[in-house]
C-alpha cells in the first residue's frame, strides 16, 4: 500500500503558503538564435502557456497558485525581464502574461552563451518567492556555456539549495548521423552540467519549430501538484 502526503490535505497549509510553484522561464537569445528562431521560441512559449492542458494545470491548483517570471539571456551582460512576477490566479492573469510574452521584441546585447550567469540571475529572481512550496528555473538553450562561470561552479556556491533547474534543450532538426550525434551530445551536456535538484530533468526540442510542443510537454510535467512525501508499507 502506498500512502502519499499532499500539502493541500493538511488543514491550514493553503493559508500558510498559497503559492505552490514559483516558475522562472529563461529564454536563450545568444548569437546562435536568429530572428526567425527567436520568434518561434517566444510564440512557442505563448502557445504552450495557452494550451488547454497547460491552462488547466496552472489554474486548477485547489487554492494554491503559480507565480511566473520570464526573462531572456545571452552573454554575461544581458539578462532582460520579459514578464515580471505575476500570480496566475485567473484566466485573465494568464492571458495578460501570454499577451506580454507574445508582444515582446528581442533585446539582445552580447552573442555568447553565459548559462551560469543566466542561472544566477534566475536564482536572484526567486529570492522574493520564499513563500512558494517549489521554486524552479526552466532554462531553454541551444548551446553550451562558453563565457563566465559554469553552472557547476555556480551550484558549488550553495546558492541553489532549494531551487530545481530543468532544461529544454533545443537541438537541430536534421536526421543525419552527425546531426543525431550533436543533438545527443548537447542533451548529455544539459543533463550532466546544467539541470539541478533531485527531481530535475531535461527534455529535447527537435529544432525551434518543435519548441511549442516540447515546452507544452515540459510545462505539464513541471506544473504537477507537489507531493510532500510518499511511503510504502
pLDDT of residue 3: 29
pLDDT of residue 60: 86
Using alpha carbons, list the distances in angstroms from residue 202 to 47, 59, 100, 141, 168.
20, 24, 26, 11, 6
Q: Give me the mean pLDDT over the 151-166 stretch.
A: 92
Using alpha carbons, list the distances in angstroms from residue 177 to 82, 158, 168, 186, 208.
37, 39, 22, 14, 20
Q: Which residues contact 162 (CB under 8 A, 6 or more apart)?
A: 135
pLDDT digit string, tens, across residues 7-33: 433 334 444 458 999 999 999 998 888
CB atoms within 10 A of CB 129: 17
Classify 168 as helix, strand or coil.
strand
Q: Give me the mean pLDDT over the 213-225 stretch.
A: 92
pTM: 0.88
Low-confidence winner among 2-16, 71-85, 98-112, 190-204 (lowest mean pLDDT)? 2-16
pLDDT digit string, tens, across residues 100-116: 999 998 776 678 999 99
Q: Is pLDDT of 125 > 60?
A: yes
pLDDT of residue 6: 37
pLDDT of residue 108: 64
Q: What share of the chain is helix, strand, coil (3-state, %, to 5)?
A: 40, 25, 35
CB atoms within 10 A of CB 184: 12
Mean of the per-residue pLDDT values of the chain: 87
Low-confidence winner among 59-68, 195-204, 205-214 (lowest mean pLDDT)? 59-68
Amino acid at each position: 500500500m502506498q500512502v502519499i502526503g499532499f500539502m493541500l490535505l493538511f488543514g491550514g497549509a493553503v493559508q500558510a503558503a498559497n503559492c505552490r510553484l514559483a516558475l522562472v522561464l529563461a529564454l536563450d537569445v545568444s548569437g546562435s538564435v536568429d530572428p526567425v528562431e527567436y520568434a518561434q521560441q517566444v510564440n512557442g512559449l505563448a502557445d504552450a502557456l495557452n494550451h488547454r492542458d497547460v491552462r488547466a494545470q496552472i489554474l486548477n491548483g485547489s487554492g494554491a497558485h503559480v507565480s511566473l517570471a520570464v526573462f531572456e539571456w545571452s552573454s554575461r551582460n544581458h539578462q532582460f525581464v520579459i514578464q515580471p512576477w505575476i500570480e496566475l490566479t485567473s484566466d485573465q492573469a494568464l492571458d495578460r502574461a501570454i499577451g506580454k510574452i507574445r508582444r515582446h521584441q528581442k533585446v539582445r546585447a552580447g552573442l555568447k552563451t553565459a548559462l551560469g550567469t543566466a542561472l544566477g540571475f534566475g536564482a536572484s529572481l526567486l529570492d522574493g518567492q520564499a513563500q512558494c512550496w517549489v521554486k524552479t528555473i526552466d532554462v531553454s538553450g541551444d548551446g553550451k556555456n562558453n563565457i563566465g562561470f559554469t553552472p557547476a561552479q555556480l551550484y558549488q556556491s550553495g546558492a541553489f539549495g532549494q531551487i530545481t533547474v530543468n532544461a529544454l534543450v533545443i537541438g537541430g532538426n536534421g536526421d543525419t548521423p552527425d546531426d543525431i550525434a550533436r543533438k545527443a551530445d548537447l542533451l548529455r551536456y544539459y543533463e550532466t552540467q546544467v539541470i539541478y535538484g533531485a527531481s530535475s530533468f531535461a527534455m529535447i526540442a527537435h529544432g525551434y519549430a518543435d519548441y511549442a510542443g516540447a515546452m507544452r510537454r515540459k510545462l505539464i510535467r513541471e506544473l504537477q501538484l507537489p507531493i510532500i512525501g510518499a511511503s510504502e508499507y
